Amino acid sequence: MNKQELYKSILPQAISLIQGEDEIAAMANLSALLHQTFGFWWTGFYRVVGDQLVLGPFQGPIACTRIQYGKGVCGTAWKEQRTIVVPDVEEFPGHIACSSESRSEIVVPVWQNGRITAVLDIDSNQLDTFDEIDAKYLEEIVSHFE
């Protein structure tokens, strides 16, 4: 299966893991589903807590616990209120290297009641892993947190 077919195949399960479920539990299972399906390097959530992003459920190596507003890819996606695809993390000014293995990254804001309450962050240990297909399906998945 290509990437688009893989996303389509997990979409119903991803949505059912979110709908009507505790938010942290849903984030935990979604991280596992995406991580296992695609073999990413790191897959997880940072939640907005006050004026910072705080590490939430994830799969993969130990990561930075807190990220400031506007900092790194995650803090920039939060500030600019948009999905950010980074083909090469070394080319992104201010990228926060939680792991030296990380080569490319995508960060997708999670919206609830008109506010960003978290971001979904996925890292790959290969360059140029993410594109508009990932952005489209990941945005579709996290839209169910509404």
CA 119 to chain centre: 6
Answer yes or no whether residue 54 interacts with ligand SME by CB under 6 A.
Answer: no
State which residue, 74 or 110, has the beta carbon closest to ligand SME.
74
3-state secondary structure 50-80: CCEEEEEEEECCCCCCEEECCCHHHHHHHHH
When binding is defined by CB under 6 A, the residue of 67, 84, 108, 110 that contacts ligand SME is: 67
Least distance (Å) from ligand SME to the CB of residue 16?
26
Q: How far is CA 27 from CA 5, 65, 72, 145, in A?
A: 22, 16, 21, 9
Query: What is residue 93's three-state secondary structure?
Result: coil
- Report the site for ligand SME in 72-131 (rule: CB under 6 A): 72-74, 95-96, 98, 102, 105, 121, 123
Nearer to ligand SME, 120 or 141 (CB): 120
**Minimum CB distance to ligand SME smaller for 26 or for 86:** 86
- Token couple for 47: 């939640």
3-class DSSP assignment, residue 12 = helix
Min dist. Cβ of residue 1 to ligand SME (A)? 26
Q: Are 124 and 42 in contact (CB under 8 A)?
A: no
| 10-18, 71-79, 110-118, 130-138 -> range binding ligand SME (CB under 6 A) | 71-79
Tokens of 6: 């893989």
Which parts of this chain interact with ligand SME (CB under 6 A)?
Answer: 42, 63-64, 67, 72-74, 95-96, 98, 102, 105, 121, 123
